[in-house]
Amino acid sequence: MSFNTKSSPFLIASLLCLTLAGMATSAAPALAASNARSQQKTKAEADRAELQNRLKALKNDINKTETAKDNASDALADSEKSISEANRSLRDLQTEQTQTEAKVKQLTEQQQALADKVEKQKNQLSNFLRRQYMRGDSDRIKLLLSGDNPNRINRELQYMSYVSQTQAKMIDGLRISLLAVEKNAEEAKEAKAELDEIADEEKSHKLALEKEKKRHATLLSQLAEKLYTQKKQADSLEKDEQRLTNLVSQLNKLIEEQAKADAARAALEEKQRQERIAAAQKERARQAAQGKKPAKITNPNAIDDDEPPKQAKVETPPAGEFDKLKGQLRLPVKGEILAKFGSKRTDGPSWKGMFIKANAGAEIKTIAPGKIIFADWWKGYGNMIIVDHGGSYWSLYGNNQAVLKHVGDVVKTGDVIASAGNSGGNEESGLYFEVRHQGRVFDPLNWIVK
């Protein structure tokens, strides 16, 4: 059998096309991926639901003792909470947008790298097929029937086997690369769709925020005189402070109960883990006694083979860490200190914290690492956030325009957790700031870097 060498380019191209066509038909179409973003958001919301429900019950328990209904700041509560929630949602969306844009950029870079790899593999396969054609190798049956020297036939068959293996590996490598290209394109498409979805959500939240700000401004104008009068009343201030003290006390109990429940759960999980390890070791010993090769244990914590390893749990800093920060802390926001801890009010109790004047929307930063244990509107303090720093040390940030973190979030020193405002019926825009140890307030300025 002979070939016309002038027709070789056409033949090689045909062989390559058939090879690639075979790969295309063998690759199963990718299943439509579920919306990972929606699943992640649903999970995050579900994780917060239990905490929010417990906090809601706690707030209702404290507020049910209130008899005064004619409070001007209460009229602003829904509006201020809505503004805070819209701001927090926008910030969450902006963070998500930044992460998704980074993902799109990474996928685009991977796409180019994969395209270069596929092109290189195609060239290698094409060159390989060309060399095989030019060599004019005979097939195995023809070689066996040739009557040639058996040793030579054996060597040729061995060589042809190596060639077949090499060709199979090249084809498999190209197939894997093509599937990777397909997967990359699908992920990039999903990421871009996520960006469009985020943009639509941002637009909706911005419209709602502007609408709520206008409503709040109207309410504030209508209630300005009443707010001013009530804010100056000593009994009103004392009630606000007592209500906050009750909240702190209840939160302490809640945290203690949660700590006990976590310890009990951890002890149970450790007991179950030890039992699983003991059972696995017993099974390995039994298999060894029977002369079988024991199965390798890749995850001793797992009950089933498909159970993933447990993730490390992030906790608040251990007791004693916050103590070391005395004299090193920075104020949560830059601004003029209008009221210091212990200073007398014009009419009413002395200040239990400090008030720092700041422009509306100024970033409020946490003074130390910790975990958010409260992030909601509270009567007398407006949109308020409390951070547990471990060792029974808490910091409290009130009168915010918006709280930007969720209950359960873990924060680092300097993380932005809120934006300054005048919620809660405050006259000035700024931040009310407290620090507590074991529920008792103390002067924050003694801990601030000079």
Quote the pLDDT of residue 194: 79
Quote the pLDDT of residue 297: 52
Q: Are strands 370-378 and 382-388 parallel, antiparallel or unpaired?
A: antiparallel
Q: Are strands 382-388 and 393-403 parallel, antiparallel or unpaired?
A: antiparallel
Query: Do 326 and 337 touch, CB atoms closer than 8 A?
Result: no
Instruction: State the residue for tokens 């709280």.
Output: 403
- Whole-angstrom distance, CA of residue 384 vs CA of residue 376: 6
Quote the pLDDT of residue 405: 92
Each residue's pLDDT, cut to its tens digit, for the chain (450 residues) gives 443 434 444 444 444 444 444 444 444 443 444 455 566 656 556 655 655 565 566 555 555 544 444 455 566 777 787 788 888 888 888 888 888 888 888 888 888 888 888 888 888 777 777 776 676 555 555 555 555 556 665 665 566 666 667 777 777 777 888 888 888 888 878 878 777 787 777 777 777 777 777 777 777 666 666 655 655 555 667 778 888 888 888 888 888 887 788 888 888 999 999 999 999 888 888 888 877 665 555 554 444 444 444 443 445 566 568 989 999 999 999 999 999 999 987 767 889 999 999 999 999 999 999 999 999 999 889 999 999 998 889 999 999 999 999 998 999 999 999 999 988 878 789 999 999 999 899 999 999 987
The residue type of 411 is V
Quote the pLDDT of residue 411: 94
The continuous run of DSSP H or E covering 152 comes out as helix 150-232
- Whole-angstrom distance, CA of residue 74 vs CA of residue 379: 7
Quote the pLDDT of residue 211: 77
Quote the pLDDT of residue 23: 45
Quote the pLDDT of residue 296: 57
Query: Do 45 and 154 touch, CB atoms closer than 8 A?
Result: no
- Whole-angstrom distance, CA of residue 262 vs CA of residue 199: 39
Per the DSSP assignment, residues forming a β-bridge with 418 are 364, 403
Quote the pLDDT of residue 13: 46
- Whole-angstrom distance, CA of residue 280 vs CA of residue 291: 17
Q: Can you read off the two tokens belonging to residue 363?
A: 């970033």
Burial class for 46, CB neighbours closer than 10 Å (0-12, 13-18, 19+): exposed
For residue 118, CA distances in Å to 68, 112, 182 come to 74, 10, 12
pTM listed for this prediction: 0.57
Length of the chain: 450
Burial class for 31, CB neighbours closer than 10 Å (0-12, 13-18, 19+): exposed
What is the residue-wise DSSP string for 245-295? Answer: HHHHHHHHHHHHHHHHHHHHHHHHHHHHHHHHHHHHHHHHHHHHHTTPPPP
User: Which are the contacts of 327, defined by CB distance < 8 A and separation ≥ 6?
Assistant: 446, 447, 448, 449, 450
SS3 58: helix
